[in-house]
Chain A
Amino acid sequence: MSAIDVYEPFHRGLPPLKKYAKQLFGRRAFISEFAKSELRRQNFGSPLGQIWLVLNPLLLSAVYFLLIIIISGQTDSARYAHLTAGLFVFYLITNSITAGAKSITAGGRLILNSAFPRIMLPIAASVVALFKFIPTLIVLFAIHLILGLPITYALFWAIPLIFIFYMFSLACAILFSCINVYFRDTQNLLPYLTRTLLYLSPVLYESSALTEKLSILKTINPLYPMLDSWSRVMVKGELPFATDVFQSLIWTLALLAISSYLFLSREREFAVRI
């Protein structure tokens, strides 16, 4: 009789990757069920909850818009569209980071009781963030029509860009879920971190407004090329720069590889650290 399961020491600290991937795929129902349960728990399953999902970032963009009018004294409709589009997608990332950071520490009982690929917890958290983001696309489309922004074939670039944004937010969720196991106060630092990231990214301002002195941000901030491409597509109806898309992909793949390696090499310890 052959064994159904064999547990052996991890090779170089990593679980057997083929078996791990197979088990992760086999538990994909958990991810969708978790997302549904979590949205239900947060009352986003009800019509009022869904309205709030859209209203919350919309009100926020209105507040920032007011701030920009006061500071600069002038504005135009494209600027409002840029701000709203940027904020909505920025919230995909921050929601994913915030929920991802808690995903392992909050899953304590499950981790202590069951053997499963732990990475599915931050994945599930990032899927919840994606589900929260999708309704805001309808609002973006409505704003686009109301403000009479150009409708071109370049708008189709929104699909691969959303994919890149999601993969980036997933990488962040994996990374922070792991860090939070070792440093539980990470969650307290996240609001400062995400706020700083917001100010360093072309959301409240357009990329063209950046002075020469600060142009280093374009290179060191992974969100910069992504958000700039997003604004070109969603507001101006223009094609994104190939270099920006390439840079975004490299950032995303590198962060995904690093965070996944860090997570997998540490996940054996989670059961004794929680």
Chain B
Amino acid sequence: MSSLSASNLNSHNRGEVAVSIKDLNVVYKTTLEKRPTLKNRLLQFSSGKKQTRIVNAVQDFNLDISYGSVLGVVGANGAGKSTLMRSISGILPPTTGRIELYGSVSTLLALGVGFSQEMTGRDNVILGGLAAGLSRAEIDNKFDEIIDFAELREVIDAPMRTYSSGMYARLAFAVAVTVEPDILIIDEALSTGDAHFKMKSLNRVKDLRGHNRALILVSHALATIEEVCNEVIWLNKGKLIQKGDPVSVVAAYKKFLEVGSSPMIDEDV
């Protein structure tokens, strides 16, 4: 599990390895029901129905991510993008293989802020920060910057259940980028919020790119990927299909989306 307070030195050289992934496989078991209950389990057990399934979410994955780079991750739904991001951030440890991190990580997955809907935005920011490994003093130092960036000063002491989805997104993004991580992972979060905030968050990502951080950006917005990233990987069914410059990988991925298959995917590797 990463600790944000472990290093906020920000003194990495461009090209230095930030994340090293070797022979990664992530397998997990999940239920077929969205809300598993004892009652349903007993009913299904008596009928002999299958209740769980094994998901091979990431398979034989190898990758090095360097400081100073912005890695785009593209792939259809269920490709394993979110699982890969959760593995890199320590949320879902590998089944086999190894992930090495050479810096502090901040994640913006599933719009992470909003731990408790009933608690205020302020409490959620503090608790989220403490859970991620920041000290109370570090959170207090960054607090004003977070709420100013999120433009939520007036409602920060209101329960989060009163927030709109855009406000959620703004607060989550503000927390993730303001803690100044060495490695920042953003999973499909740049497309949230209104047009003004989208532009603001995109500019912040570009700004971070210039500070020799390592950024990983998962998005279905291919134009943004092409604009911001300097390297892109394409995942399909848990496998790395292609890695390279944004233009060529996005073009291959677009072609795949149009025709539904690709020689690279069909090939049994």
Residues of A within 8 A of B (CB): 1, 3-10, 15, 19, 23, 26-27, 29-30, 33-34, 37-38, 40-41, 106-107, 109-117, 120, 182-186, 189, 268-269, 271-273
Given A29-B135, A41-B118, A110-B115: A273 and B130 interface contact (C-beta under 8 Å):
no
A116 touches B38 (CB 8 A): no
> Can you show 29 pairs from A to B with CB atoms below 8 A apart?
A4-B2, A5-B1, A7-B94, A8-B93, A8-B99, A9-B95, A23-B1, A23-B3, A23-B133, A26-B133, A30-B130, A33-B130, A37-B123, A40-B123, A41-B123, A109-B115, A113-B91, A114-B112, A114-B128, A114-B131, A115-B89, A115-B90, A115-B91, A116-B132, A185-B37, A268-B28, A268-B93, A271-B91, A272-B30
Minimal beta-carbon separation of B161 from chain A (angstroms)? 11
Q: Is A269's CB under 8 angstroms from B101's CB?
A: no
Decide: A109 and B132 in contact? CB cutoff 8 A. no
B7 within 8 A of A: yes
Q: Chain A residue with minimal CB distance to B112?
A: A113
Q: Which residue of A lies closest to B17 (CB)?
A: A1
* A26, B3: Cα distance in complex, Å: 10
Alpha-carbon gap, A113 to B6, bound state (A): 18
Binding site for A on B (CB under 8 A): 1-3, 6-7, 16-17, 20, 28-31, 35-39, 41, 55, 83, 86-87, 89-105, 107-116, 118-119, 123, 126-128, 130-133, 135-136
A110, B7: Cβ atoms under 8 Å? no
Q: Is the CB of A269 within 8 A of B28?
A: yes
A109 to B119, Cβ gap below 8 A? no
Contact of B98 with A4 in the complex, beta carbons under 8 Å: no
What B residues does A9 contact at CB under 8 A? 93-97
Known: A8-B93, A107-B115. A112 touches B110 (CB 8 A): yes
Say whether B92 contacts A268, CB under 8 Å: yes
Give the residue name and chain of the B residue nearest to A181 (CB).
B36
CA distance A161 to B70 in the complex (A): 56
CB B188 to nearest CB in A, in angstroms, measures 13
B226 nearest CB across to chain A (Å):
27
Residues from chain A with Cβ under 8 Å of B31 in the complex = 273
Residue on A nearest B108 in the bound complex, by CB: A113
Cα–Cα distance between A113 and B89 once the two chains are bound (Å): 9
User: 15 more A-B contacts (CB under 8 A) besides A5-B2, A272-B30?
Assistant: A6-B100, A9-B95, A23-B3, A27-B133, A41-B123, A112-B91, A114-B132, A115-B90, A116-B132, A183-B38, A184-B37, A189-B38, A268-B92, A271-B86, A272-B55
Q: Which residues of the partner chain B approach A113 to less than 8 Å between Cβ atoms?
A: 91, 107-113, 128
How far is B39's CA from A183's CA once the two chains are assembled, in angstroms? 8
Q: Are B130 and A7 in contact (CB under 8 A)?
A: no
Q: Which residues of A contact B135 (CB under 8 A)?
A: 29
- CB nearest neighbor in A for B93: A7
Partner of A33, one of B6, B39, B116, B126: B126
CB–CB A6/B99 < 8 A:
yes
Distance in angstroms from A28 CB to nearest chain B CB is 9
Distance in Å: Cβ of B11 to nearest Cβ of chain A: 11
In whole angstroms, what is the CA distance A273 to B52 when docked?
11
Chain B residues near A269: list those with CB within 8 A.
28-30
**B123 / chain A contacts, CB cutoff of 8 Å:** 37, 40-41
Name the contact of B104 in the complex, choosing from A4, A34, A272 (C-beta under 8 A).
Answer: A4
Q: How far is the CA of A3 from the CA of B7 in the complex (A)?
A: 12
**Using Cβ atoms and an 8 Å threshold, which residues of chain A touch B116?**
37, 41, 106-107
> Using Cβ atoms and an 8 Å threshold, which residues of chain B touch A15?
93
Separation of A107 and B231 alpha carbons in the complex (Å): 34
Separation of A184 and B39 alpha carbons in the complex (Å): 10
Q: Which residue of A lies closest to B123 (CB)?
A: A37
Contacts of A271 in B (CB 8 A): 86, 91-92
**Across chains A and B, which 6 residue pairs bring their CB atoms closest together, nearest first?**
A113-B112, A115-B90, A115-B1, A30-B130, A3-B100, A183-B38
Chain A residue numbers with a CB within 8 Å of B130 are: 27, 29-30, 33
- Residues of chain A within 8 A (CB-CB) of B20 are 3
Q: Kindly list chain A residues whose C-beta atoms are within 8 Å of the C-beta of B99.
A: 6-8
In-complex Cβ contact of B87 among A7, A38, A273 (8 A):
A7
